[in-house]
Structure 1
Amino acid sequence: MGVSGAQAQMDQNPGYYQHLLQGEHDDRLEEAIRTDMNRTFPDNVKFRKSADPCLQKTLYNVLLAYGRHNQGVGYCQGMNFVAGYLILATQSEEEAFWLLDALVGRILPAVGGQGRSAWVSSLVRAADYYSPAMLGLKTDQEVLGELVRTKLPAVAALMDGHGVLWPLVVSRWFICLFVDILPVETVLRIWDCLFNEGSKIIFRVALTLIKQHQAFILEGTSVVDICERFKAITRGSFVTECHTFMQKIFSEPGSLSMATISRLRASCRARLLAQG
């Protein structure tokens, strides 16, 4: 709450969360959120309808409040897993909302919002990453491709040779921030770094997974085979040993400055916009 700026926003806007929950009905938003309720952590006992209390209601409230808070985004699939993790970690509905606002609005990558107030900037930036067009998400997938091309050229050549597009293999990594991809203990440690150091941590994790399993990935012989190998590298002892894994993400990818990330984001975004 402190390092993300969420505590400051909550303190400066007392009663705002409850005000959002009492807002006007939006059938489309509410139905979209309800549709994903039973799909969110179905194996977690606290999210089952039989639980008392059932966190589905808490999750619904957080997502509804955020959708009303940022109408340009509303609700996007993937946000349910992110919000669900925040609820489990904080055990506080309102804190989960403000952390979601910090994460989606200020920490995750987006172009725009500079020179504006932090509040307005949050809304502008979030719309770029989680809007229906998902331009920010698509940009970061392209950025990862460029980083792999530089740091792991053999993997990039394999992908190009088989025509495998990065969204096929990493879209869920990015949009869910590795929730339901990597083990819980590992994800929570990744998120500690994400809140503290910013969005380049996402690339450090992705590059480490790919580099550590480069030989295995390079044995892929088809699009389907390569996609299955990318699923397989998110399981096993390497990702389960969370402390060793976290040490690796700061050593395996090598130098990875924010300046480099920002430059690649600008060029990849421009290329995507030119493609329409």
Structure 2
Amino acid sequence: MAVSSTFSKVDEYGFERPEDFDYETYEDFMSHYLIVLAKRAKKWTDLFGEGKSLKRNLTVKRYVRKGIPGSLRARVWMSVSGADLMRERASPNLYGTILAGPKDESLVDIVRTDLPRTFPDNIFFTEETSRLENSHRQMLFNVLVAYGHHNREVGYCQGLNYIVGLLLLVTKDEETAFWLLKMLVEHTLPQYYICTMAGLITDIDVLAELVRIKVPEVHAHVTALGLPWAVIATKWFVCLFAEVLPTETVLRIWDCLFYEGSKIIFRVSLTLIMRNKENLLKCSDFSALVECFKEITKDSLVLQCHEFMESIFKTPGSLPGSTITKLRTKISQEKEAKK
């Protein structure tokens, strides 16, 4: 089917499709999804066309959940996340000032080492394209180095390269990527990327507790086989599903993440686990369970991003932000008490 497919072996964001890519399923999905995209684009243009401002309200939230057109993503993300306001309140040209300032060579070396590892299957990040002026790899280097100097507590943490890389593929602008990264690291996912990764570790425990509440059989089975939840969820959370789920699905997740915050990560994780409950329970040993958790990110539904996004708001059921806040507090207090 791949040979006769009308779709390129490289997707619109420059990622090479895997050898086992299911072109037949994808073509069937796209034949319907392109119509959805066209309708959504018209609605978005009416709502947030040239010169129009965007305010957070139920209409915008509904629109975001149904997907933001690629051409508007950078503007909408900046607006609904609060990154625009953050930039307005900062000193003029903060990004340019940091970039032009003195550099910590040890930080620069660490970032430079990770550049070739970032999206090696993407045509915009190859060794050849990196030699071009204003290449994606050069922009990635600039943003990571600037942010590392701006936020010394974080510096550089592995995983940020994938986030910034995807931000650049969408926004095509260093400064926009810098402000969206700042919003994610300092507000949406606090303490995920500091050296202790305290926020990340707490949220993995929160996910485990949510699984125990919503699918107790899976929690009991994972516990019995001795698989740490950190092995399952660390990459999901650190990279915000980049390099884990299909690109367009990741971007649809990020649409909601920038509007609704970190609870979206839990919704996605719970949906993946709950949809694959039976397969997970069939695993009889540790290694089989590890492999099954890898396979659930290739679930046929994840390719159909529109249906998948609808399912993350239905499958896990009620999941208010207050529940996550209470669980974070409870888990943090329990850890503190054990010290």
TM-score by length of 1: 0.91
Amino acid at match of 1:15: N
Corresponding residue of 1:25: 103
Corresponding residue of 2:203: 140
Instruction: Pick one of 161, 166, 172 that aligns with 1:85.
Output: 166
Distance 1:274 1:58 in 2: 44
> Shift of residue 100 of structure 1?
0.4
Structure 2 alignment gaps of length 5 or more: 1-77
Q: Does 1:49 align with 2:144?
A: no
RMSD: 1.2
Distance 1:25 1:247 in 2: 45
> Shift of residue 83 of structure 1?
0.6
> Shift of residue 237 of structure 1?
1.6
Aligned runs of 1:104-123 on 2, under 5 Å? Answer: 104-108=185-189, 110=190
SS of the aligned residue for 1:256 comes to coil
Q: Does 1:206 align with 2:269?
A: yes
TM-score by length of 2: 0.74
Aligned runs of 1:1-276 on 2, under 5 Å? Answer: 1-12=78-89, 13-51=91-129, 52-53=132-133, 54-108=135-189, 110=190, 128-275=191-338
- CA offset digits 1:118-142 (Å, max 9, x no partner): xxxxxxxxxx221111010000000
**In 2 relative to 1, CA 131–48 (structure 1 residues): closer, same or farther, beyond 3 Å?**
same
> Shift of residue 6 of structure 1?
1.3
Deviates more, 1:25-34 or 1:264-273: 264-273
> Shift of residue 187 of structure 1?
0.3
- CA offset digits 1:78-136 (Å, max 9, x no partner): 0000011111110000000000001111112x3xxxxxxxxxxxxxxxxx221111010
Deviates more, 1:45-54 or 1:32-41: 45-54
Q: 1:23–1:68: 8 Å Cα contact kept in structure 2?
A: no
SS of the aligned residue for 2:318 comes to coil
- CA offset digits 1:192-228 (Å, max 9, x no partner): 0000111100000000000000001111111111111
Distance 2:165 2:264 in 1: 21
Distance 2:112 2:320 in 1: 40
> Shift of residue 44 of structure 1?
0.5
Q: 1:139–1:272: 8 Å Cα contact kept in structure 2?
A: no
Distance 1:68 1:175 in 2: 20
Distance 1:150 1:250 in 2: 17
Q: 2:192–2:238: 8 Å Cα contact kept in structure 1?
A: no
Q: 1:208–1:249: 8 Å Cα contact kept in structure 2?
A: yes
Q: 1:37–1:56: 8 Å Cα contact kept in structure 2?
A: yes
Identity fraction in percent:
48
Amino acid at match of 2:155: G
Distance 2:111 2:336 in 1: 29
Distance 2:99 2:137 in 1: 15
SS of the aligned residue for 1:77 comes to coil
Distance 1:225 1:23 in 2: 50
SS of the aligned residue for 1:181 comes to coil
